[in-house]
Structure 1
């Protein structure tokens, strides 16, 4: 009886496909017009996605089947008509659609046009291309997968995309030179750093309005949010400081002096440590958030974008002046590996997907 049962179980295991989680880091390669897919655990290149002009902003969210890639280049209307034409629509129909007076562009009247691309998070396939008003710097995807936003530094606002319809539904003016966007506890609210006027805007995506502006140093750029604690960290880039804000009342609760020009930042898996890329002084820093203690390690040249890779104990850190990404051990802050990229590595994102195992 036991032998028969064991044989049946063995046969079942041999014939049953089990899903195994695999984490992938998507690396936008800027001037190379590509996105590199990398095995998060090994740093090995898996695939290169082409056809994404000047891709700088790239984001996703756990469990959301899409990535959103933004182009930092503007193009003309004729090129956009050709680029965004669906396969099942004729040339005449598509041209007529773009020529309709009812299709008045959303956003500033004098804005150029760039492309926001929707990618399949599992395969990297480009699913849709959406016209947005002006060059895109960074993007963000809401935790519930309903919204995506893109910052437009030259337009002083953000585009809002409905990911259920793949349509641009609003342009929200936020402030001078919006740089980065991040979601907090409420998936309908996004926080946008305005580098030109020293504020963080809280944007209500349901209403398409700025609910409040929080004064945050002189020039906040990259931001990251601890949603559980309702705390936001902002790199006051040129001032060489990271500021901690309470999202409950908008106050700056702490300031961490890192020194030099700052760029990327992220939180550890347990949200107890903040990692900072010190581009200006060729270093990376950690901030122990329980005590405020800061530690440094050299990393050269010019550490740029930075992302924590969940479950691996490593950071991926790109160089602004060399075509590579370092793999950095979070405990020692030492580079344990690196891999080459084409162009420049900008806003990286990590997605976990199920594979057959």
Structure 2
């Protein structure tokens, strides 16, 4: 049951929540969590991303089909058979990416309506996605394929597969729209990928198993969750050094920065807590939240962030100043990579 207090300021934002095993994305009003609509036909959707001012979202499926069965993919409602065939046409120069990988689907959504506009075949199950600040590129991580797919958003085509490292997990853009950073959980590195050239420029050592990332583009600082170690690392993008590491404790998962980039919020799944890091001092404050806080996304202009639960089908609305819930609402399935769109 939804609970709401007047502590939330009114915001003109919509939040999209992938619901994993129910094959849906839920659109909700940011200030209340009230459902606007549910987008169906997105099998095993886990990764979901967008960028401010970009009219599209990219949803990734964690399910795979073998290449022979791709023609059976259901076409979106309102799309003609000819258009559907074009969207799923195989490239004439042969497949891009590992030839032994199955096929997964990236869906292009209208950020205003949630309508499915395109489906793009990519090699292997998609974990997370990211969209460049200028809307030109989208990327999807493939943990089983040790690389990322690169999508040209002007043509909605897969243009490259870039091998990054063992078990790529998360991707995040900084201030340069053709450069993306990818955490490789399997070998403890973060890759800096030049999307225009389709190459890895460098790899930075980052703890034992980096997962979720967030970047302060203005300061050139990347924050990476070393999930199993219970730490968040601060990396300087100019030289890859790690000047600080924040000990949160327990297994960690999602994180995000506050609007003013002065605080970092982290979901402590293993110890049923959330944490706030005051970045000017490095001080860490925690508060209990149960069960299993999972994905976390700041909601711009509200002084709140959303946190999903991995153990229950619910999302909390958390006040940034007090780290206490000011609301919660039920979803279906599991709440994965949450996106707020203004």
TM-score scaled to structure 2, two decimals? 0.93
> 1:311 is paired with a residue of what secondary structure?
coil
Which deviations, in whole Å up to 9, do the C-alpha atoms of 1:270-326 show, x marking residues without a partner? 000000000000000000000000000000000000000010011100000100000
Where is the helix percentage greater, Structure 1 or Structure 2? 1
Please give the residue correspondences for 1:238-253 in structure 2 after superposition, counting only pairs within 5 Å: 238-253=228-243
Equivalent position SS for 2:38:
strand
Seen in structure 2, the aligned counterparts of structure 1 residues 90 and 246 have a Cα distance that, compared at 3 Å, is: closer
Look up the match of 1:112: 102
* Counterpart-to-counterpart distance in 1, 2:278 and 2:221: 15
Is there any run of 5+ residues in structure 1 with no aligned partner, and where?
A: 1-19, 353-357
304, 311, 316: which is aligned to 2:294? Answer: 304
Check if 1:87 corresponds to 2:77.
Answer: no
> In the aligned structure 2, how far is the partner of 1:255 from the partner of 1:298?
22
Secondary structure at 2:118 match in 1: strand
| Normalised TM-score (structure 1) | 0.89
Which structure 1 residue ranges, 4+ long, deviate > 4 Å from structure 2? Answer: 93-98
Is there any run of 5+ residues in structure 2 with no aligned partner, and where?
Answer: 1-9
Alpha-carbon separation, structure 1, partners of 2:281 and 2:333:
39
Aligned match of 2:268: 278
Pick aligned residue for 2:115 from 121, 125, 129: 125
CA contact (8 A) 2:192 2:200 kept: yes
Report the Cα distance in structure 1 between the residues aligned to 2:89 and 2:58, rounded to whole angstroms. Answer: 24
Equivalent of 1:169 in 156, 159, 184? 159
Q: Which residue of 2 aligns with 1:6?
A: none
Q: How far apart, CA to CA, are the structure 2 residues paired with 1:347 and 1:222?
A: 10
2: distance between equivalents of 1:169 and 1:238?
34
Q: Report how many aligned residue pairs link the two structures.
A: 330
The correspondence for 2:32, drawn from 24, 42, 52, is 42
Q: In the TM superposition, what is the alpha-carbon distance from 1:97 to its structure 2 partner?
A: 4.9
Instruction: Choose the corresponding residue for 1:227, options 198, 217, 220.
Output: 217
Take 1:245 and 1:52, find their aligned partners in 2: how far apart are those partners?
35
Q: Give the distance between the partners of 1:286 and 1:21, measured in 2 at CA.
A: 22
**Aligned counterpart, 1:71:** 61
**Distance of aligned partners of 1:94 and 1:143 in 2 relative to their CA distance in 1, 3 Å threshold:** closer
Q: Distance in 2 between matches of 1:27 and 1:329?
A: 19
Check whether the contact 1:232–1:247 (CA below 8 A) recurs between aligned residues: yes
The superposition leaves residues 182-219 of structure 1 with CA deviations (integer Å, 9 ceiling, x where unpaired) of 00011110000000000000000000000000000000
Q: CA RMSD in A?
A: 1.8
Q: 2:253 aligns with which of 253, 257, 263?
A: 263
Cα distance in 2 for partners of 1:278, 1:156 equals 27
Deviation at 1:103, TM superposition (A): 4.8
- Shift of the 288–117 alpha-carbon distance from structure 1 to 2, 3 Å rule, reads same
| Counterpart Cα distance in 2 of 1:191 and 1:183 | 6
Counterpart of 1:201 in 2: which secondary structure? strand
Which residue in 2 is equivalent to 1:349? Answer: 339
Greater C-alpha Rg: 1
2:87 touches 2:120 (CA, 8 Å); kept in 1?
no
Q: In the alignment, what sits opposite 1:56?
A: 46
